[in-house]
Chain A
Amino acid sequence: AQSVSQHNHHVILSEAASLELGCNYSYGGTVNLFWYVQYPGQHLQLLLKYFSGDPLVKGIKGFEAEFIKSKFSFNLRKPSVQWSDTAEYFCAVSSGNTGKLIFGQGTTLQVKP
Chain B
Amino acid sequence: ETGVTQTPRHLVMGMTNKKSLKCEQHLGHNAMYWYKQSAKKPLELMFVYNFKEQTENNSVPSRFSPECPNSSHLFLHLHTLQPEDSALYLCASSQPSGGARETQYFGPGTRLLVL
Report whether chain A binds chain B: yes
Residues of A within 8 A of B105 (CB): 46
A99 pairs with B104, CB closer than 8 A: yes
Contact status A43-B106, CB under 8 Å = yes
Q: Report the minimum CB–CB distance from B110 to chain A (whole Å).
A: 11
Question: What total of A-B pairs shows CB separation below 8 Å?
Answer: 59
Interface residues of B, dominant DSSP: loop
**Contacts from B to A (Cβ < 8 Å):** 1, 4, 31, 40-43, 45, 48, 56, 90, 92, 94, 96-109
Other CB < 8 Å A-B pairs besides A96-B100, A99-B31, 18 of them? A4-B42, A31-B100, A32-B100, A34-B103, A36-B106, A42-B108, A45-B1, A46-B105, A90-B43, A94-B100, A97-B99, A97-B100, A99-B94, A99-B102, A101-B104, A105-B40, A105-B41, A105-B42
Q: Which residues of A contact B (CB under 8 A)?
A: 4, 30-32, 34, 36, 42-46, 49, 51, 90, 92, 94-106
